[in-house]
Amino acid sequence: MKTNVLIAGGGIIGSAVAWALAARGVSDVTVVDLDLTGLYASSELNAGGARATWWQPVNVETCAATLEFFREHADAFSFRERGYLWLYGEQMLFEIAKEKLELQNDFGLGVELLTPSDVVERFRTLDPDPARLVGATFSPRDGLVNPNAVRQWYRREAESLGVRFLNRHYVIGVSTTRQADSKRRVTWVEVLEIIGRDPTDREGTIRDILTTHVVPPDRTAAHERIECDVVVNCLGAWSPVFSAKIGVSDVTEPTRRQICMVSVQHEDAQRIGELLSMGMVVDPSDLYFHPEGKDILAGYSIPEEAPGFDFSYDGEGFFMEHVWPRLVQCSSVFERCKHVRGWSGLYAVTPDRSGIAGPVRGFTNLFEAHSFTGRGVMQSYGIATAMAEWIDLGSPSGAITALTRERFADPARWLVEDLHI
């Protein structure tokens, strides 16, 4: 098989890049992925927040563009412009938030600074101890979105433009040749088609391959070599597995993140109603929560969580130890609440907690777009359109050039994001 552009990884970034390329008129694009149903896709397992209130210009720019795209398709994506309320407990971080206000509002975000008393007066269902707060920001143009609907839109539109998506295909090898200028060129990628098309993965075959990177011999249907003119690594948390096959050192670390659903029981129906009409709230303790139907979706990133490909969920113990005590600190409405269910997914975490995008140095036809550290959904459109321009024309517009992996050689070029949760 031969293709013009081969994209490894059909998650939200890979699907978005495929669509953006096809929308530019780039033909013969193929996407290969082990899990196109998204059972273990990071974008499918996240909290559904979408914001542009970041501190690095490239992250603000690409997220702002994506939010505008979400607004244009609000019904299709279930986009709700309810805002982000970010509560600060450290004066130093709040001072930085003040400094970043001009940058954010240059993109039309309308971010507001709030005092602790402003928070209590404006968001009456919240009653945090004022002593815990030094201030807050509210970004009204941020919101909540259905990640599954977004990814499906990219894929559906891409397929309508001729993009091929190959499900249950796992990359096992990459062949390169040395060019006259000493750079390497990817000539073909070898994939395995995996037996077992049960979309629920009841036997755990897909999960086992994703966590161990070993394909059981009895699950192999066929080998295929795909010749390609351009290759794009969009494998997210699994990008290091691909990079290792071509001798590229990858700084990405896969890290488990757990989320739970919580039902709230309170006699004050008005407070419950106010709670369920809010957007995303981020507490000084790094707990985050937002309404999801009649329940509350809440997440917390355990600081000492070790890197690894782990999809286990710690159950009600996670809720009782890490989530509930922090919810109660934020509002007494959570004094009586119940753990409903939960799940875990993977963040692809970089040293500065910003993504990696652009051409891979030392190669003539290898690009990458991955490791957006939990913000792949909210950067998808901005990253994809810029990457498609880069691949098609040889250079991009906008700030995306700051995201190349070369920055990690010089800490002064890192794009550190402290608003990472």
Burial tier of 22 (Cβ tally within 10 Å: 0-12, 13-18, 19+): buried
How far CA 251 is from CA of 109, 143, 220, 355, 408, in Å, comes to 32, 30, 30, 11, 8
Long-range contacts of 264-273 (CB under 8 A, 24+ apart): 264/295, 264/296, 264/333, 264/334, 264/336, 264/337, 265/336, 265/337, 265/338, 266/333, 266/335, 266/336, 268/333, 271/124, 271/125, 271/333, 272/125, 272/333
Write out pLDDT tens, residues 100-140.
999 999 999 999 999 999 999 999 999 888 889 999 999 99
Contacts for 143 with CB less than 8 Å, ≥ 6 apart: 49, 50, 51, 67, 70, 79, 80, 81, 82, 83, 84, 279
Question: Whose CA is closest to 419, among 11, 74, 101?
Answer: 101
Low-confidence ranges of the chain (pLDDT < 50): none
pLDDT at 197: 63
Contacts for 226 with CB less than 8 Å, ≥ 6 apart: 1, 2, 3, 6, 30, 32, 188, 189, 190, 191
pLDDT at 199: 73
How far CA 246 is from CA of 3, 171, 175, in Å, comes to 20, 12, 8
Go through the domains of the chain in sequence order and give each one's CATH number.
2-44+148-251+352-413 (3.50.50.60), 83-143+254-349 (3.30.9.10)
d(CA 6, CA 231): 5
> Packing angle between helix 376-393 and helix 12-23, nearest 10 degrees?
40
d(CA 145, CA 202): 28
Q: What are phi and psi for residue 29, nearest 5 degrees?
A: -105, 135
Helix H, strand E, coil C: the string for the chain is: CEEEEEEECCCHHHHHHHHHHHHCCCCCEEEECCCCCCCCCCCCCCCCEECCCCCCHHHHHHHHHHHHHHHHCHHHHCCECCCEEEEECCHHHHHHHHHHHHHHHCCCCCCEEECHHHHHHHCCCCCCCHHHCCEEEEECCCEECCHHHHHHHHHHHHHHCCCEEECCEEEEEEEEEECCCCCEEEEEEEEEEECCCCCCCCCCHHHHHHHHCCCCHHHEEEEEEEEEEEEEECCHHHHHHHHHCCCCCCCCEEEEEEEEEEEECCCCHHHHHHHHCCCEEECCCCCEEEEECCEEEEEECCCCCCECCCCCCCCHHHHHHHHHHHHHHHCHHHCCEEEEEEEEEEEEECCCCCCEEEECCCECCEEEEECCCCCHHHHHHHHHHHHHHHHHHCCCCCCHHHHCHHHHHCHHHCCCCCCCC
